[in-house]
Amino acid sequence: MEKFEVNILGCGSALPTIRHFASSQVINIREKLFMIDCGEGTQMQLRRSNLKFTRLNHIFISHLHGDHCFGLIGMLSTFDLLGRIAPIHIYAYKDLETQLKPQLNYFCKGMSYKVEFHHIDPNKTEVIYEDRSVSVTTIPLKHRVPTCGFLFQEKKTPDHIKRDMIDYYEIPIAYINTIKNGGDYTLPDGRVISHEELTTPSNEPRSYAYCSDTIYYKKITEQIKGVTLLYHEATLANEDLARAKEVFHTTAGQAGKIAKIAKVKQLVIGHFSARYQDESLLLEEAKAVFPNTILASENLKIIL
């Protein structure tokens, strides 16, 4: 099975602590690296993760709060110092380019590589990146500023050939790709050998949904239904529900409810408030609703 991993670099919320770094993740899909959010300290965590800087070409910013983007300028500057030449593509609300370009022009004048900005509309569900193996779609969320999550969906791979059946029917190599992609084979005597007889199914495509920051927003459950892994913010405990509504965040119990309604395979909660010294309380509240829940933590690697 091809690689599909989620690397948590930071899972704290806005107020800095010595326990958590600000929000950032790297998704490794077949050795292509995609970053989601880039809070302060991200480049330090990227080094600790042993992920290769050169394979990171796409950065997705969920919204323009500092704990999700203040690490960008420093990391981009470091890439320049390292002599990077491949362009970096940044997908974000249009205001990020307006704010970041003057900083790049001032602090990183004459950079060795280009920074390409791709504007996204946080209010729309649309595919913003696609290649042969994966697509990335925006998930509109509900927060104090324009915000969206991201849905990574692996594309289905061709079915696996049964080599013994190919040899038995003496099927020429030229027909193999057609059969792998759903075709039958007609023998010289006119008999049709079905695709199902000649192949075994490929692995089910995997998917990952990132949903932070947002108030409890049931509308997203249709889009993330059945995903392999859901990362959902759980900034506050259920006892702080009033505060969660006030600041447009979600409680751990509500995150569990979203996972349950969407029938996801696994839930990981993060974006923890600095008020909690022990996040086991949040884990217990989420698991009470959705048992297959784990806590995010720095340098946690989740293999899908």
Q: Which residues are catalytic?
A: 67
Dist. CA 193–CA 261, nearest whole Å? 42
> What secondary structure letter does DSSP report for 18?
S
User: E-assigned strands of the chain?
Assistant: 4-10, 24-29, 32-38, 56-60, 88-92, 115-119, 127-130, 134-140, 148-154, 160-161, 185-186, 192-193, 199-200, 207-211, 229-233, 267-270, 293-295, 301-303
Q: Which of 217, 286, 231, 187 lies closest to 5 in space, CA to CA?
A: 231
Which amino acid type is present at position 159?
D
Q: Are 266 and 229 in contact (CB under 8 A)?
A: yes
The residues facing 10 across adjacent strands are 24
DSSP percent split of the chain into helix, strand, coil, nearest 5: 30, 30, 40
For residues 63 and 213, the answer to whether their CB atoms sit within 8 Å is yes
